[in-house]
Amino acid sequence: MKIIGTGSALPKKVVTNDMLTEFFDTSDEWIRTRTGIETRRIITDESLLELAITASNRALEASGLKAQDLDYIICSNVNNNYVYPSMSCMVQGAIGATCPCFDIRIACAGFVYAMDLADSFLKTGRATRILVLAAEEPTRFCNWAQRETSVLFGDGAAAAIVEDSDGYMGARMTTTSNTEVLFQRKRLEPTPFEVEGKYLDHPMVMNGREVFRMAVSSCSSEISSLLNDAGYKVEDIKFFILHQANLRIIKGIEQYLGGIPEQYPTTVQKYGNTSSASIPILLDELVRANKIERGDLIVMSGFGSGFTTGSLLMRY
Ligand code: UT7
């Protein structure tokens, strides 16, 4: 599998740390030192679907393909205001594609899982060109009365178009059923038979310290074994494109693996944690800044609710 086009789209509203001090007891200093985040983009009058469509059209344009050339659309999306139909179905019609499409919901690791699925579709000949999309609005998961989570997130969408080649060197996926460390419960319609209180909704609950610890240990060991098995060293990798959740998590993984800071590019400072969109947003920025060249080895690695992690190694 190789990437032949990327695109991204972010909301226009820039929210600084200082702006958040209006809503709860926090500070620019706390947010910067604990997370590295300085600003984030938050959806206002645009919709997540519009961002997803723009990101997909930009990826198509970069690839030189038409929407009709796509054989599949796979979209990573945790939440939007439709339970169904899927985000990928809505994007498909809007961009003028007619291929089958489906969504996956694997939280922040979703883009890596979607890329790995895309590779198996390409390898087995079930598709020749796939749009892999991530569209996320995590600012709508949070309880905005709570500073612990609301300061961390931003919204955004990004896409990559992939086609078959021998550049994909595999992936490692880990799922540990630790469902209490990070979850959100959605309201279900009541039935006359409902047991009261059983199906309550609840905004995001997170044990930040535990997520931090699991993220650093799981991603570090996953990437290490991926490189070992493929016979590569850290210095062979141009970029480790890691889920942008917290600068300290990225630094923790860098410390474990080694290498130089330039191999660990970041966008978390300006966009915050955009869930599964963070990896393709960063990828698109690197591509558009001409920082990645054909043949460069890249690693993508994400982690999130589940607890789920996924890491892949490929040539750009
Ligand atoms: O995509 C995956 C999503 N999740 C993550 O990536 C989260 C991973 N975890 C983290 O990034 C960090 O654990 C956090 C940034 C969430 C928290 O950092 P921490 O160093 O683990 O802080 P803490 O939770 O231990 O809280 C330290 C203090 C507490 O006060 P006390 O008990 O020491 O008085 C908190 O109440 O900081 C307080 N605090 C805040 N203060 C100002 C928590 N949130 C805030 C805030 N502003 N926004």
pLDDT in tens, 244-297: 999 999 999 999 999 999 999 999 999 999 999 999 999 999 999 999 999 999
Domain final residue, candidates 166, 196, 224? 166
249 and 157 housed in the same domain: no
Q: HSE of 124 in the Cβ direction (CA atoms, 13 Å)?
A: 6
Beta bridge partners of 6: 160
pLDDT at 13 over 90: yes
Nearest to 121, CA basis, from 132, 110, 106: 132
298 and 204 housed in the same domain: yes
Residue 100 CB less than 6 A away from ligand 1: no
Whether 89 is a known active-site residue: answer no
Contact at 8 Å (CB) between 223 and 186?
Answer: no
Looking at residue 191, its pLDDT comes to 86
Query: What would the DSSP string read from start to end of 118-163?
Result: HHHHHHTTS-SEEEEEEEE-GGGTS-TT-HHHHTTB--EEEEEEEE
Cα(259) to centroid of ligand 1, in Å? 28
Ligand 1 pocket mutation pick from 34, 40, 204 by most atoms within 8 angstroms of CB: 34
Domain final residue, candidates 146, 166, 186? 166
Ligand 1 atom at shortest distance from the alpha carbon of 107: 1
Average pLDDT of the residues in 165-175: 94
Looking at residue 198, its pLDDT comes to 73
Give the Cα separation of 215 and 189 in Å (integer).
34
Looking at residue 10, its pLDDT comes to 98
149 and 11 housed in the same domain: yes
Q: Which residues contact 147 (CB under 8 A, 6 or more apart)?
A: 20, 24, 25, 26
Number of domains in the chain: 2
Give the Cα separation of 200 and 186 in Å (integer).
7
208 and 261 housed in the same domain: yes
153 and 255 housed in the same domain: no
pLDDT, tens digit (0-9, with 9 covering 90-100), for 82-140:
999 999 999 999 999 999 999 999 999 999 999 999 999 999 999 999 999 999 999 99
Residue 102 CB less than 6 A away from ligand 1: no
CATH number of the domain encompassing residue 21: 3.40.47.10
Residue 58 CB less than 6 A away from ligand 1: no
127 and 177 housed in the same domain: no
18 and 145 housed in the same domain: yes
Looking at residue 186, its pLDDT comes to 86
Band of the pLDDT at 200, cuts 50, 70, 90? confident
pLDDT at 199 over 80: no
Cα(83) to centroid of ligand 1, in Å? 30
Beta bridge partners of 301: 242, 311
pLDDT, tens digit (0-9, with 9 covering 90-100), for 214-227:
999 999 999 999 99
pLDDT at 237 over 90: yes
Domain final residue, candidates 166, 181, 212? 166
Identify the active-site residue in 75, 108, 142, 219.
108
213 and 225 housed in the same domain: yes
pLDDT, tens digit (0-9, with 9 covering 90-100), for 21-63:
999 999 999 999 999 999 999 999 999 999 999 999 999 999 9
Average pLDDT score, the chain? 96
- Percent of residues, the chain, with pLDDT higher than 90: 91
241 and 286 housed in the same domain: yes
Q: Rounded to an integer, what is the distance from CA 287 to the centroid of its chain?
A: 17
Which residues form the domain of 304? 170-315
pLDDT at 196 over 80: no
Ligand 1 atom at shortest distance from the alpha carbon of 20: 48
261 and 127 housed in the same domain: no
Question: What are the distances in angstroms from CA 14 to CA 11, 38, 43, 274, 291?
Answer: 8, 10, 9, 14, 25
Looking at residue 195, its pLDDT comes to 80
Band of the pLDDT at 184, cuts 50, 70, 90? very high
Residue 28 CB less than 6 A away from ligand 1: no
133 and 253 housed in the same domain: no
Ligand 1 atom at shortest distance from the alpha carbon of 149: 16
235 and 113 housed in the same domain: no
Band of the pLDDT at 202, cuts 50, 70, 90? confident
Tokens of 147: 């500073």
- How many H helices and E strands in the chain? 10, 13
pLDDT at 189 over 90: no
Beta strands at 14-16 and 39-41: parallel, antiparallel or unpaired:
antiparallel
For the entire predicted model, the pTM comes to: 0.97
